[in-house]
Amino acid sequence: MILILRLPSIPFVEISQEATNYKYLNFLPACPLRTMHLGSSFSLSSTRTAYFRARCRRTPPPLPAFSGSHHAPQQTPYIFTSALNPTPTYTTTTILTRSYSSTTKPSSTIPSAAASEADHFDWRKMAELNREHLKKDHKKVFEHNRAWAAHQTTQDPDFFTKLSAGQSPEYLWIGCSDSRIPAEQITGMSPGEAFVHRNIANLVCNTDLNVMSVINYAVRHLQVKHIVICGHYGCGGVKAAMTPKDMGLLNPWLRNIRDVYRLHEEELDGIPDGPERYDRLVELNVVEQCRNIVKTAAIQQSYARNGFPIVHGWVFGFNDGLLKDLEVDFESMLRKVQKIYDLSESHEH
């Protein structure tokens, strides 16, 4: 397997191994880590710059010949230790199209050796092969795009003429950034039917100018009829918020979810099953984000004048691919909210 690190003074550092060679490599002690070109399964124990020592049980193998776009997965562990996490950890990750897993092993003592053992390896050749592979993957996106455009034109010769004339979506969709939940695909909506905004854990924060701008434009200018807050079971953002751990830059964002837990602490603490409590927090988070939308002037004023938009709370399930309607009572929620957060025009007059 191959681990690529970008360091301040070295273009690429690669730690590789093969099953039959048990020489040891002690590489780059106390070198500041800047950026990691790794799969999502690999991470340090802190988001801060770390000083680390990477060690490998085996010397680098020759580069494989990349003859195709897919490579068979291999379970090949290596050892990584850092000053923030001194216990050696057997970790695997994703490089190119290969998929690996992570498993912690007991600590072991590894003899050190000179970094010159890896001098024969051609780092530049490795980097070039990675660049060529990524270019091929990138080209596939354009190939798929051309195929999609041709299909749409075949089905409806005027499709792109109508699409370029403007948009008048019925829905504003506020969902999670999770790559597995594309709004149009799971709902069967076509281009032009949904105005979409996504962020981590589908939050609606009044200090987030991004989501506030989206809501304002969708309601006041596009005049959407429905606003959907869509969460999903198994949400990583919600799970992170339930973890008593410093998440660095994510702390202010996750605090919004932790506030949801605080508001519903009695109910959530009464659920003994961990996964069930986790799922319930996902649902409660969706409901609270619906309430945050109802607090905005754009929604209150548009509903007073036009009778729309209506706010909905949904949750997507990966286990069956179905959407669950939480049946948010929009009108009742609006009445309760306006006791304190009344921003409707009728109130002003």
Q: Which tokens go with 79?
A: 């050892």
Residue type, 202: N
Using an 8 Å Cβ cutoff, are 38 and 3 in contact? yes
Side-chain half-sphere of 255: how many Cα atoms within 13 Å?
9
pTM (predicted TM-score): 0.65
CA nearest to 58, candidates 27, 98, 94, 28: 27
One DSSP character per residue, 32-44 reads E--EEE--TT---
- pLDDT values of the chain reduced to their tens digit, one per residue, 349 residues: 444 443 343 333 333 333 333 233 333 333 333 333 333 333 333 333 332 333 333 334 444 443 343 444 443 333 333 333 444 433 333 333 333 334 444 444 444 444 454 455 678 888 888 888 887 778 889 999 999 999 999 999 999 999 999 999 999 999 999 999 999 999 999 999 999 999 999 999 999 999 999 999 999 999 999 999 999 999 999 999 998 889 999 999 999 999 999 999 999 999 999 999 999 999 999 999 999 999 999 999 999 999 999 999 999 999 999 999 999 999 999 999 999 999 987 554 4
Which ranges in the chain are annotated with CATH 3.40.1050.10? 164-348
Distance CA 98, CA 207 (A): 40
Q: What stretches of 84-208 show up as alpha helix (H) in DSSP?
A: 123-155, 159-164, 183-187
Catalytic residue positions, numbered:
176, 178, 180, 232, 235
Which of these, 22, 25, 91, 11, lies nearest to 54 by C-alpha position?
A: 25
- Residue 205 in marked binding region: no
- Class of the 164-348 domain? alpha beta
| 288-320 exposure pattern, b = at least 16 Cβ within 10 A, e = fewer | bbbbbbbbbbbbbbbbeeeeebbbbbbbbeeee
Establish whether 290 is an annotated binding residue: no
Does 138 count as an annotated binding residue?
no
Q: State the CB neighbour count (10 A cutoff) for residue 39.
A: 16
The reply to whether 176 sits in an annotated binding site is yes
